[in-house]
Amino acid sequence: MFIEDVTLPVRYSFPNEQFSLIKGSQKRLLTDNQLLSNVQFKLFFNSTQRCSEHSLDISVEHDNLPVSPVQLYVKTIMSVIEKNSVFTSLLQNGPLAVEEKVTLASPFSSTTREWVRNLKQDQNNITKYRAIRSQVFEFLEINNFIEIRELLINHKEQAARGRRAYVKLGNMFGIDGTVKEIEARIHDYARTADAVVNSLRNKILKPYSSHIATTNEIEVANDPIELLLIIFNDRYHRKARFEARRKLQLMNLAASIDQRERETAIEEKFSTFLHFLNDYVWSPQQKIGEHDIVYLLSQHDPEDFHCTSVRVITPDERKNIPSGNGTKLTLIKRRKFVTDGREWPIYVSIRKKPPEAKVLKLLRKNEKNPAVAVDDELGLMAVLDSVSDVKIFQNHLTRSAGKANSFMVLEDISDTLTGNAVYQSTATGSSAKTPMLKFFARLGGMRVEFIIHTNRSWLNYLYQQDVAHDEYEVRRIFDSGVAELLFPADIFHLDHKEIRNDMLVRFRRQIEKT
């Protein structure tokens, strides 16, 4: 009864855990034991499983009188920096943390003995360590860590083992071709690893770019053998050794993504999808690449900057629009589609997720398998004038698929645009206040993610507080633990909580700037 009378969050933050409520009405965040409308909720859980689904008991007290407990169905999502992270080798609070010094020649030192004692406290960590050690020995063609010292100074032998390593990596990731061709592909993975870091430097962490800049020697190193040996080379600073380890881990994810793309022929499917849109969806009266330029003139609420009104204006009308507080002018380039003899304007953004974005998604999802975590490789976002236009476009898509001699089946439909439903994303950092029509369309051998907005909901997606995509990107990178994983505080001297709040303030200031 009381659940119906109060509001709960889609995302409830609990120490070391994050909750995504699957059921219940949601409007604002509720903290542990927070008094809300004289109704107090106490949350309890005892699950330690990663991504486990279970019921959460909530005891309700009203005017200090206990009421029968109720249950909510929740999904627990572990942070990527928690104990059960699949990226153990990057955890600076774990057994494989990068230390100040490399002690290959001191297997019986007090430091090493202390490290062994800590490692033995968790059998899972012992198993992971043994697996990683075996991989390192096999990759470097050695039998113990002492042999690494000899390999560090024998550059001729390094080169020979590097050539053999490329052949093994080619077989591992299903790369056909000569050693040179495999080497070129592996170097592409290294560039993707660098792009992951640079994408964060250039936007989400731009004011802190100098703090997280990669050491030059690591950025230019693309050879896996060279990077692996740097990890064990005490001539390199601790930060550089961590960056070498991080680059190898990111290269491994990039290789898995590339293998998945080759297996699923994603490039060919993306080309097929573009041909489908040009041949069957868009107006034949428009040339490919032709757009009509218009502006959305919108007014926004001073409290949370949600859109209160919007109208479409031409470039000529724009010249006479005065600037003012709460007013935004947003340029959009629109295509057209034709149905029942009438043209309808539509703004469209089509994308194939780049490799570095897929790597970041694997990190956020605490997954190494792209087949599990990356299901939105192909996507289309559309913006129309009204909800009725959205429905017309949805029907037009189905008919267009029929003209292309294919059925179109809609899967995983989430509609918070045309009804009163609440958006129930389980993505870290997402907001319950995000109205949209979202679905996956299966047609012509493809599975494409569609996100459809009205002008008003799209402007909220750009500008509204706690909904804006720029703010969402900040929250998901920090709240998922990815920022701490890639740039550990003790190595990069960063206060991630402070930076998160600072970047949210900066983006909010930039968004509301007239």
**Which of 11-15, 278-282, 372-376 has the weakest average pLDDT?**
11-15
Residue 458 is predicted with a pLDDT of: 96
pLDDT tens sequence across 385-414: 999 999 999 999 999 999 999 888 999 999
69-86 pLDDT tens trace: 444 434 344 578 887 788
* Helices 355-364 and 179-202, axial angle in degrees (round to 10): 70
Handedness of CA 449, 455, 460, 462 (dihedral sign): positive
> Which ranges in 265-319 belong to alpha helices (H)?
266-276, 315-318
* C-beta separation of 79 from 16 below 8 A: yes
What pLDDT score does 431 carry? 55
Neighbours of 366 (CB within 10 A): 23
Residue 421, pLDDT > 60, answer: no
Question: In the numeric block, which tokens belong to residue 14?
Answer: 């609990």
- Looking at the chain, the whole-number percentage of residues with pLDDT higher than 70 is 82
Instruction: Decide: 344 and 235 in contact? Cβ < 8 Å.
Output: no
Asked whether the predicted pLDDT for residue 265 surpasses 70, the reply is yes
Residue 359 DSSP SS3: helix
What pTM does this model have? 0.82
For 99-254, strand residue ranges (E) read none
Closest CA to 90 of 429, 475, 368, 375: 368
Query: How much is the average pLDDT of 232-253?
Result: 96
**Beta strand spans in 63-192 (E):** 65-77
Q: How far apart are the first and last CA of the chain?
A: 45
SS3 (DSSP) at 446:
strand
Interval 214-233 mean pLDDT: 96
* pLDDT per position as a tens digit, 451-500: 999 999 999 999 999 999 999 999 999 999 999 999 999 999 999 999 99
The tokens describing 97, both together, are 């943390």
15 vs 171: CA distance, rounded Å: 43
Least confident of 60-74, 174-188, 336-350: 60-74
The pLDDT-based confidence of 322 (bands split at 50, 70, 90) is confident
> Which tens digit of pLDDT belongs to each residue from 1-55?
223 333 333 333 333 333 333 333 333 343 443 333 333 333 333 333 333 333 4
Q: What is the dihedral of CA 468, 311, 309, 328, to 10 degrees?
A: 50
Q: How many residues does the chain have?
A: 514
Residue 35 vs residue 253, higher pLDDT? 253
Mean pLDDT of 409-422: 78
Mean pLDDT score of the chain, rounded to an integer?
83
Q: Considering only 98-107, 435-444, 466-475, which range has the smallest mean pLDDT?
A: 98-107
- pLDDT tens for 127-173 read 988 999 999 999 999 999 899 999 999 999 999 999 999 999 999 99
**pLDDT score for 23:** 31
Residue 45 pLDDT:
34
pLDDT of residue 20: 36
Instruction: Tell me how far apart the alpha carbons of residues 227 and 235 are, in angstroms, rounded to a whole number.
Output: 13
The mean pLDDT of 61-68, rounded to a whole number, is: 43
Note the Cα 9 to chain centre separation in Å: 21
